[in-house]
């Protein structure tokens, strides 16, 4: 069966962006007769509420679509370990993509990457995953007793693991992160009225350190709720994604300097 690989940004607990993509493109892309993989770049929202029916309903909606979803952890969702500890019998750890992933038995086509930095192989592309980010609405959420996860960012031990992987496993074809390296922060998209001095940029500075020293070809992230293809830099390409446009992974990996964002859309 033919494999197709896609990239998409934050969907925040709504299957609608994927459903729209499927309905619009199922015949053109032969989605019903292909094995489809969609990498979601954090803030998926599958493990957000942890109580009630919200998460279960969302996972059920995703599972109706003909995709295997590969979920990177963002800031607006729990760590997989936390969810597994609550229901250890309902989860399993699987060796796949030359690494370890985590799957809820009831929803086998929703796969979760490691809570910390890890190396995978997605369609022959050697990939470094760097999950986590800071919630700029942290204090708003805390004041109103809304969901917020104190371990949303990588801790120092995990950051050191990421550095070790970069030293020992590079070069990489692809890097996946939820937020972006510091120098690539889209300051024009920062929330108006938010005092930026209150924002913890630890993750962005860490990713900046990683990016500066790393041998890689492509890097893609979500978090900022917009699509943006950054200027080509010595054969390397940086891509920011939200939930409106699905990108074809092969097109992104093989794009040339003269191509634009529209050339890599699925």
Q: Tell me the domain boundaries of the chain.
A: 3-263
CA 70 – CA 220 distance, rounded (Å): 14
pLDDT in tens, 9-57: 999 999 999 999 999 999 999 999 999 999 999 999 999 777 779 999 9
User: What is the DSSP pairing of strand 247-248 with strand 125-130?
Assistant: unpaired
Question: Distance from CA of residue 257 to its chain's centroid?
Answer: 24
Percent of the chain clearing pLDDT 70 (strictly above)? 91
Residue 140 has pLDDT above 80, yes or no: no
Q: Tell me, what's the pLDDT at 199?
A: 65
Q: How confident is the model at residue 147 (pLDDT cuts 50, 70, 90)?
A: low
> Is the Cβ–Cβ distance between 22 and 65 less than 8 Å?
yes
Q: What is the pTM of this model?
A: 0.94
Q: Tell me, what's the pLDDT at 137?
A: 59
CATH architecture of 3-263: 4-Layer Sandwich (3.60)
Q: Which residue has the tokens 């300097």?
A: 257
Dmax over CA atoms of the chain, in Å, equals: 51
């Amino acid at each position: 069966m033919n494999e197709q690989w896609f990239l998409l940004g934050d969907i925040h607990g709504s299957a609608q962006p994927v459903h729209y993509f499927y309905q619009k493109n199922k015949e053109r892309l032969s989605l019903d007769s292909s094995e489809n993989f969609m990498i979601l770049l954090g803030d998926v929202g599958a493990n957000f509420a942890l109580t009630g029916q919200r998460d279960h309903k969302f996972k059920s909606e995703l599972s109706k679509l003909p995709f295997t979803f590969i979920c990177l952890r963002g800031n607006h969702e729990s760590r997989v370990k936390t969810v597994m500890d609550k229901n250890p019998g309902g989860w399993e750890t699987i060796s796949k993509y030359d690494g370890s992933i985590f799957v809820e038995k009831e929803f086998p086509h929703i796969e979760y990457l490691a809570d910390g930095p890890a190396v995978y192989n997605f369609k022959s592309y050697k990939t470094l995953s760097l999950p986590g980010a800071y919630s700029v609405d942290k204090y708003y959420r805390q004041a109103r007793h809304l969901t917020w996860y104190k371990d949303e960012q990588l801790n120092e031990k995990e950051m050191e693991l990421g550095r070790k992987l970069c030293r020992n496993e590079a070069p990489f074809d692809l890097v996946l992160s939820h937020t972006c390296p510091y120098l690539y922060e889209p300051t024009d998209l920062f929330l108006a009225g938010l005092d930026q001095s209150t924002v913890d940029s630890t993750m962005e500075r860490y990713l900046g350190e990683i990016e500066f020293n790393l041998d890689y070809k492509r890097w893609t992230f979500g978090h900022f709720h917009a699509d943006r293809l950054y200027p080509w830099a010595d054969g390397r390409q940086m891509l920011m994604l939200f939930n409106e446009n699905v990108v074809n992974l092969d097109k992104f990996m093989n794009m040339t300097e003269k191509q634009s964002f529209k050339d890599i859309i699925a």
